[in-house]
A and B are shown apart, each in its own frame.
Chain A
Amino acid sequence: MSRRLVTSAMLAVLTAGALMPAISVHAADLAIGVAADPVSMDPANHRDRNAQSLLGNIYDGPFMRLPGAERLPALLSGWVEVDPLTYDATFRTDVKFHSGDTMTMEDVKFTFDRVLNENALDGKTSARKGLAGPIVSTEIVGENTLRIKLSDPYPTLPASLSSEGGIQIVNKSFVEAAGPGGLATTADGTGPFKLVSWSPGERVVLEKFADYYGGPAEPPPVGPARLDTVTFRTIPDTSARVAALLAGEIDIATEIPPFLRPQIEQSGIADVVSVNGTRTFFVTLNNTKPPFNDIRVRQAANHAIDRALIVDKVLEGTASLVNGILSADSFAASELPAYAFDPELSKKLLAEAGFANGVDVVLDVQGPFKDIAEVIATQLTEVGIRATVQVWEGSVITPIWADKTKRERDMYFGSWGSAGLDPNGIFPPMMRTDDRGNYSGFTNADVDRLVTAAMYNSNSEERAKQFQEAEAIVNKEAPLIFLWVPQDIYGVSKRVKDWQPIPSSMIYMHRATVAE
């Protein structure tokens, strides 16, 4: 009988559990479903998209970047270019940390040193040093001003002194009290939200910071956050993320694959919102060996692909075509001639190059992009570039292509991200001779000269022209098969107001709110 009692008790508990309504959420609470945990809460100690998009809510930097506004002063009250290698940044005096401490120049200087100095992070060097620009030294001059000296002119310095860049101001005394590694799990920033709790693998809970200085003066509204709490929930499986959105457990779901769009659109509960991403996709051609050392074969490959069809049918229309390497949203983006889909022209070019009977090549691809690579291979094969798809794990194939001493493979379906949407992040590494991301082995003296000059040119008009001239050469030389920039797709509940995704994938919740 005792067993029966236990069984009935268990049944009762389970039934009660099933019938009990979910613990209701407060009106101004909002939850976001993301694909992975942040790797750390320390703004100086990660190179991670998830940490970055979250920490932008906890920590503010000198500048903030929003679409259409590249240099909104946030913690700054003044910004003066003394000369192309020297800048004076004057900081606001009315800024408070979440702990209640007032932000001082000591904190500012401490933050810059922590990111920029070798071994400054418990004996290690900050992983974000490279994002902060070519700063050689900083010095406090006057009461609230930091003088920043550069090794080279750096036109995009304001963008680097932001949450996407390397600099988010931390509280010196808090960091010192937290001890080595202490900032990995705790936080004391000047941002609109403070960290309440982090349950690794499950969620991060943020709460409105009532004493927030208000953020950049533009765009309105300025002032404390409008939401009471924001929760970032880690839901790695995409189907489960969409299910959570449809069940009302989360309000925003990130990284939605195209095939799940209809499910959200038809739900009546949420909308699909997308924004051009920052990652350019292409097929790298090995320019250093036959057949792709011949420009005619490279052009033939470009003419062989029906990109519009692939975007329409495989990516369900969620990508924008590019004819170079820059996204249409990037600085210095320009109209470039497109390689029209023209199989006959491809065959003709191949024949001229001496491959009238076709040629056999291997197309390398990482697992997740196998389907697209197969479509591309089929289309190439139809014109005589008989491509076999070989599927790899990214961490295996990328180093093979990155090894500039070998260059033995033929083609590689890949991409390069430029979170800042500035050509400095994508053009020099991919297109300068032997630079870090130049997997194609492309080399062109004019491109090298133009790109190097543009990188450090502080005259923005001239700089844009230099990049445009270089990209026109790249377009003509076709070291790659130019493809597209995919959109980042979000599912957003209809109760969310005043929130838009932005290309850098930062998820700023300062201005967002929810309907009652």
Chain B
Amino acid sequence: MNLRTVLERLLQLIPVLLGVALVVFLMMALTPGDPVEIMVGSDDNVTPEQIETMRRDLGLHLPLHERFFQFVLSALRGDFGLSFYHRRPVFDVLVERLPATIELSIAALFVALAIAIPCGVIAAVKRGSIFDKLATTAAVAGVAVPNFWLGIMLIMFFAVQLGWLPVSGQTPTTLNIPHVTGFLLIDSLLWGRPDAFLAVLRHLALPALTLGAALSALLMRVTRSAMIETLQQDYTAFAIAKGLPRRHVIIRHALRNAMIPVVTVIALDFGSLLSGSIITETIFSWPGVGRVLIEGVTTRNYPLVQTTVLMFAVFYIAANFIADMLYVAINPRVRL
């Protein structure tokens, strides 16, 4: 991929982000509900004058187009405004929460890959066997079972009944890992405390499994069908005829080629892992961005929602970009 393509891609970002900003802004503005009324709620002792003052403080007295331009102009300067509810800069609120979401998404991806690739390959190689049937059925179940149900069931079994793993949270209550990167697996290692690393890993296990389950089912099916296709190709037959060991053929020749659609699915789905962790974060009280977004929507926290959605848009675009690059790396036939 040459520099020009990269630059072109980056330039394409501008209209996309502007479009996303406009759509989100309009959607929030058109959704009925006044942030100040929600903040005050049906609470005692608030005068109409105080409500007016609060509206003014939040800039809600300005006309819609002025609010939009103000948002875009300040965003260009890196100022995403104050979160209405927290009364702190939106950027600070998000930066605090982002590492937890990324860490969970990556862990979920690892879980998904660890289950999907071996199962997919074995199911394809032993096509029609009991294992294949079981794996395919499990994949259907994996896609069909809702996240929140799976999460609660895993908690009840592994945390409450067996007591092996913690119910929720990111670390044990008594453990305060010094924040360096915000990624607790890394921070606990930097801290030089393997016990803290293990504790973080234990907390990560159930949420990662819950979030990764659906993706692993999808990836398993993609891997299986891609493998079946490559196993039928002439070059596979030729490699076997050449006398190469069967395992070598499956992994080096068939799997490598079968990975092309798999990588595409992963890259596209990683964006949805990040943004789709909302339910998992709620069940496992995981301090990520998804939960902030939900709170933001229900309280009409305009700056927070706009910025979060913009950020997710950037992630999606970045994931697509990376997918394209990986595509080239894996498949030398493609040139961008």
Contacts and interface: CB of A to CB of B under 8 A. Distances in A.
Interface in A359-397: 393-396
A246 B169 CA distance: 15
Interface string B106-147: 000000000000000000000000000000000000000000
A221 interface: no
A212 B53 CA distance: 37
**By CB atoms of chain B within 10 A, which of A125, A237, A246, A429 has the most?**
A237
A201 B173 contact: no
Contacts of A258: none
B168 A181 contact: no
A423 to B, nearest CB: 10
A419 B37 CA distance: 18
**Chain A contact residues, majority secondary structure:** mixed
Contacts of B152: 237, 239-240, 243
Contact of B47 (A130, A246, A424): A130
A168 interface: no
Contact of A243 (B100, B167, B299): B167
B96 A200 contact: yes
Contact of A240 (B38, B47, B54, B283): B283
B234 interface: no
Contacts of B47: 130
Contact of A244 (B31, B45, B167, B195): B167
A420 B43 CA distance: 11
B200 to A, nearest CB: 9
B57 to A, nearest CB: 5
Given A393-B33, A399-B34, A399-B37, A243 B50 contact: no
Given A201-B288, A237-B283, A395 B300 contact: yes
B97 A29 contact: no
B176 interface: yes
Contacts of B170: 199, 202
A470 interface: no
A249 interface: yes
Contact of A125 (B33, B34, B57): B57
B319 interface: no
A284 B284 CA distance: 37
B285 A200 contact: no
A315 interface: no
Interface in B71-121: 85-88, 93, 96-97, 100
Contacts of B31: 396
Top 8 closest pairs, chain A to chain B, by CB:
A201-B287, A395-B33, A425-B44, A202-B287, A235-B285, A130-B45, A244-B167, A396-B32
Interface of B: 31-34, 37-48, 50, 53-54, 57, 85-88, 93, 96-97, 100, 148, 151-152, 155-156, 159-160, 163-176, 195, 198-199, 201-202, 205, 282-288, 291-292, 295, 298-300
Interface of A: 13-14, 16-20, 22-23, 25-26, 29, 31, 36, 39-40, 42, 45-47, 118, 124-125, 127, 129-131, 181, 184-185, 196-197, 199-203, 205, 229, 231, 233-237, 239-240, 243-244, 246-247, 249, 393-396, 398-400, 402, 414-420, 424-426, 429, 436-437
